[in-house]
Every structure is written in C-alpha cells, then in structure tokens.
Amino acid sequence: MTGGAAALGAGTGATAAGPAALDARVMVTRKGFGLDAVISATPGETIAIMGPSGAGKSTLLSAIAGLVRLSGGYVRVAGRVVSGRVDAGGSARSRGMSVPPNKRGVVLLGQDARLFPHMTARDNVAFALRTHGVARDIAANQADELLWRVGLPGLGGQRPAGLSGGQQQRVALARALAAQPQLLLLDEPLTSLDPVTAAGIRAVIAELRVGITTVLVTHDAVDAAALASRVLVLEDGRVSQDAPAREVFARPATAFAASLAGLNRVVGQGVRGAWTDDDRRVVLPGATAASVPDGGGLAAVFRPSAVSVSRVDVPSWTAALRVERERARVPGEWLTRIERLEQTPSGVRVHTATPAVVAEVPVEDVAELGLAPGVPVRLRVAAENVRLLAI
C-alpha cells in the first residue's frame, strides 16, 4: 500500500543539500557524573554509539530526545535548535529554548517497548499516524501494512499481553516509524531478546530505517557493523573515537574500542620501529615498522587467537623471574601471570597481567597445561600478526 511507504518517507529531511539532521553538543552534569559529547549526523546516516556501562550513552540519547535537561550545549535537529541556544557566532549556551519531546521530530525506542496495554497492536501503530492528522480508517490500513513489514501479518488485533517480547518490540518499531521521525534514536532495543529474535529485528531495522537518520546505542559489534556507517565510542562521558565503523574496528583508539573488535591493544612506546612497554621488558615487532621516533607513543594491536601460551615450569613467580633474568630476550615473547580465565563458546580466553593481554586457548590445552590464575606463562605473538599504530 503506497500510503504506508509514504508515511515512512515523510519528514525525514533526508536531502543532500539540507542542514545536518543532527548537530549537538550535549553537556549534562550530575553528582559524580559529567557528560560532554559532540555528535552530528548527515541526513539518512546511521551512527552507532558504543561504550562501557555508565559512560553516558543512554543519557546522551535522552538529552537529544528532550527527556533530560542540558547543563550546557545545544541540540539542533534538521537545522532547528530544540535545546539550548546557538548564538549568531555559533557559540552554544545552555539557557534557551527547550522544545517538548513530542514536538522535536525525534522518536526514542529503548529496551522496553512501552506499548499502550489497552490498545491492540494495530491501534498502537495507528496512534502515531493519527497524531500526524491521518484519518482513522487510513491510519488503520497503514498500521496493518507497517505490521506486515515488521513481520507481524495478521496480528494487528492482538493486545501487547498476547504478544511475545520480540513481537512487542516489532510493534514498537512499527509505531516509531509511523511517527515519521526526522531522527530515530534506538537505545539497545535488542538487548533483552534472544539471538534469533534479535537477528530478525536487526534485519527489519536495516530494511525499514533506510532514509531515516538513526542513532543506535548498542553493546554489540554485530549491530554496529551491520547497521551503522559510523561508530562513536563514548567513555567516561567523553567521545574517545568517532570514525567510520571499519576504521574503529581496524584501528581502535582505546582498549575498550579494541575489545569491541575482539582485539588486544597495548600502549607503550616506539623503539627502533618496534613496540615496547615502559620498562622495555617486552618488545613486539610489527608487520611494518611504525613511523614514530624512539620514545614516541605507540600501540600494538593483535588478535587473541594470534597469541600462543606455554607453561613456565617453575614453583613460583619469584622463581620464574629469576629464570627470566638468565634467559636471552626474544622479541615477541614475554613472561607474565594469568589473572583470570573466561569460558567462551569456542574455548577459553586467558587474561594475563602486565601488559594486559588476552589469549584464546582450546579447553583441552587449559587442562593439559594446568592453566589457572596466578600461574606463570610465556606468551608469544609473531611479528606478522602485530599492527603498530602511532598514538
């Protein structure tokens, strides 16, 4: 039905020559917490926001949506200031207008579908259309098409209580799209769903939000890689990296960003084109020599699967250090201790101490080597598996 498609496309502001769909500096100060993040998006762009718990991701989205008041900065949607104030010279002030959430052209969808329990699925979706002046019968027909497009044909007459969690989230997505948002904010909408259901809704989001500017908060690298063109990494209330998704995963700027890509990232300094830690106990050559002067900041990046682990057959850590002093140093090898073991579907992740490195080891090797927290081990990684990044 053409009416449903038209409803999806209306109001997105997705024109190449138009203003930025989102332009914001969000500053929120609370006791023990401070958020100061700059974010912008072009029309139709999808940005993934990733960060550890407590970094301020949900606060950032809530402030953009108008649910959290700014302490400073501004939020501008499709060229219109909806929070704070921007002077003629471009400087931002916290005091100024604050457009109500329902007047911003912004829709926020979180983990909780927040459907009206007394309404059917069709009526929940039609409600969003009715707020835009669509006639009742037309809204009902368009709601049915939207429900079909999110994979719920024939379920329009069901109330939320009769739907599964995944089905409720699909209804919520249909309602969000029916609201014709200029900006769609998704705050970890797939977190509480099982992998199969999440994969289905991910595919629906990828198909239906085309042309709608979207900001997606997620902890899942699959979501970021599949849905977003850019990734903004938020740590301790600050943006630590903002770059195309492929660059963030290939050249992570922080240890957290590296963990998102399943990589080790250890920070040290350059010495004759190789990486070394601060006390020069460990030396890691890279596949190519890094163009940094000796003593310059350098990060070594490599996959946990590239790290081999062998047991050091000594009775104590002190004895291991004594043996290490008498042993010739070999680039790409170092002595360390196991801090903890973490089971994964494919084996065991061995977390080691300074430098903090993770190795992937088969379960049978853990048993055979007797690996356990506190056990001295020797790690090895070949130069061809190490990428050196100037910092």
Are both 199 and 278 inside the same structural domain? no
Q: Tell me the average pLDDT across 101-129.
A: 92
Number of domains present in the structure of the chain: 2
pLDDT above 90 for 326: no
Which strand ranges, in their side-by-side order, compose the sheet holding 183-187? 106-109, 183-187, 213-217, 46-50, 230-235, 238-244
Q: In this structure, what CATH number is given to the domain that contains residue 383? A: 2.40.50.100
Of 202, 218, 248, the last residue of a domain is 248
Q: In this structure, what CATH number is given to the domain that contains residue 53? A: 3.40.50.300
The per-residue pLDDT for 15 is: 41
Decide which of 87 and 270 is more confident. 270
Are both 7 and 141 inside the same structural domain? yes
Give domain status of residue 257, yes or no: no
Note whether 264 and 272 are within 8 A (CB).
no
Q: Tell me the average pLDDT across 33-47.
A: 95
Are both 230 and 123 inside the same structural domain? yes
Give domain status of residue 27, yes or no: yes
Of 248, 274, 304, the last residue of a domain is 248
Q: What's the CA gap between 48 and 54, in Å, rounded? A: 17
Are both 179 and 315 inside the same structural domain? no
Are both 240 and 280 inside the same structural domain? no
The per-residue pLDDT for 112 is: 87
Of 219, 248, 277, the last residue of a domain is 248
158-169 residue pLDDT tens: 999 999 988 998
Q: What's the CA gap between 390 and 221, in Å, rounded? A: 24
Please state, as a whole number, how many other Cβ atoms lie within 10 Å of the Cβ of residue 189.
25
Note whether 306 and 286 are within 8 A (CB).
no
Give the three-state DSSP class for 311.
Answer: strand
Band the pLDDT of 6: cuts 50, 70, 90. very low
Are both 68 and 178 inside the same structural domain? yes
Domain interval for residue 272: 263-391
Does an H or E element contain 232, and which? strand 230-235
Q: Tell me the average pLDDT across 233-257.
A: 95
Are both 297 and 384 inside the same structural domain? yes
Q: What is the pTM of this model?
A: 0.82
Note whether 173 and 107 are within 8 A (CB).
no
Spell out the alpha helix ranges (H) of the chain. 2-9, 57-65, 121-130, 136-149, 165-178, 195-208, 221-227, 245-250, 255-260, 317-325, 363-369
Are both 220 and 292 inside the same structural domain? no
Are both 172 and 302 inside the same structural domain? no
Give domain status of residue 26, yes or no: yes
Are both 228 and 285 inside the same structural domain? no
Instruction: Tell me, rounded to whole angstroms, the distance of Cα 311 from its chain centroid.
Output: 36
Are both 8 and 149 inside the same structural domain? yes
27-to-54, 61, 337 alpha-carbon distances in Å:
15, 12, 42
Give domain status of residue 210, yes or no: yes
Are both 291 and 179 inside the same structural domain? no
Give domain status of residue 52, yes or no: yes
Q: What's the CA gap between 249 and 65, in Å, rounded? A: 28
Note whether 200 and 166 are within 8 A (CB).
yes
Give domain status of residue 171, yes or no: yes
The per-residue pLDDT for 231 is: 97
